[in-house]
Amino acid sequence: MSTYIDTMHPERHAPYDDIPRDVRDFLNYMGAILNRSPRTVNGYYIDLRTFFRFLLRQRGVVPASCAFEDIDIRGVDTQAIASVTQAEIYEYLYYLKNERGNEPAARARKLTSIKSFYRFMTVKSNRIAEDPAKDISIPSLKKALPRYLSLEESIDLLKNIQSDFYERDFCILTLFLNCGMRLSELVAINVNDFKEDTIRIVGKGNKERLVYLNAACVDALEHYKSARAALKKLAEPRALFVSARTGKRLTARRVQQIVERCLQSAGLSGKGYSPHKLRHTAATLMYRHGNVDMLELKEILGHAHVSTTEIYTHINTDKLRKAASSTPLSRMKFQQPETPASEQPAEEQAEDG
């Protein structure tokens, strides 16, 4: 089975040897032509593999006793792909909800994978004539407000780091909380990505952006670089964040563990915080306390569209509180009406009696 992502070299992938040729061509198109990141392409790979496994089981092509993960889809040819109906896609969505327990966001993402694949098969490569997914609408999803640390919690987190490599872990948290970078962006940073007070970040779709470093980031980096230079073993000298034991680049999972441990030592575990929530925290603090506008925040976070950034306009509670207080009616106080006893309702007069 293809694992696709090479964990040591996330820009590489294993051969697509367990999927149909058409799907393999689609993934190559996504990566090479549309310049989607390896992690994004891997998501399409998993989603489409699951869909065609379901299809073969649904059509009775494989024995009922065959485990879902063992279903071989390599024999699904262009003719079989063209024969998929809209009803079968609806059956698949029903299966995702009721048998796999997928939430609406997960089902919407998997439907997007199918729609993108069939658009490639019909419009981009002209391999089939009809698109069975064309008229299936992706349901609108409720946008939840991002979870983030308060300013006080952020300070507590930085003040309560317990680590055997304090300089490194303090620097990691400082960059997360000040620069709003993604986890994948942080682990990919190289030593030569810095120039004066800027850092070159490679974001989604291999898009580069410059992020300016404030005084706290510069100070944390200087202390960490001194500690890093003292390491006896440096297996990957280009990598900025490395293991103190092996000298190799930290993996995304290892950084997650570092953040989880630091949150626990600060008494902030169990609240749903994660490296991605630290990114939300950075954006929220910039917007609420730094008077950063949406276009500036979009560039800092590396969003493709300002509509993605606009979610942070809903979390400035200070502005909302001020707006609610701005109406002249906000100063009205409760007053007991001065109603003569003769005009009171009969039941109230009886009670008074």
Among all residues, which ones are annotated catalytic? 182, 204, 276, 279, 303, 312
Judged by DSSP in three states, 180 sits in: coil
Residue 13 belongs to what H/E stretch?
A: strand 9-13
Three-state helix/strand/coil letters over 153-177:
HHHHHHHCCCCCCHHHHHHHHHHHH
Q: Which two tokens stand for residue 274?
A: 């994660």
Task: Name, in order, each residue with C-beta under 8 angstroms of 174's C-beta and a sequence gap of 6 or more.
Answer: 158, 216, 217, 220
Q: Which of 197, 201, 195, 196 is nearest to 214 (CA)?
A: 197
Tokens of 201: 């970040």
d(CA 116, CA 110): 10
Both structure tokens of 239: 């990598």
CA distance readout (Å), 37 to 130, 163, 204: 28, 32, 6
- Which residues does 7 contact at the CB level (< 8 Å), separation at least 6? 251
Cβ neighbourhood burial of 88 (10 Å; 0-12, 13-18, 19+): middle
- Give me 272's structure tokens: 């749903």
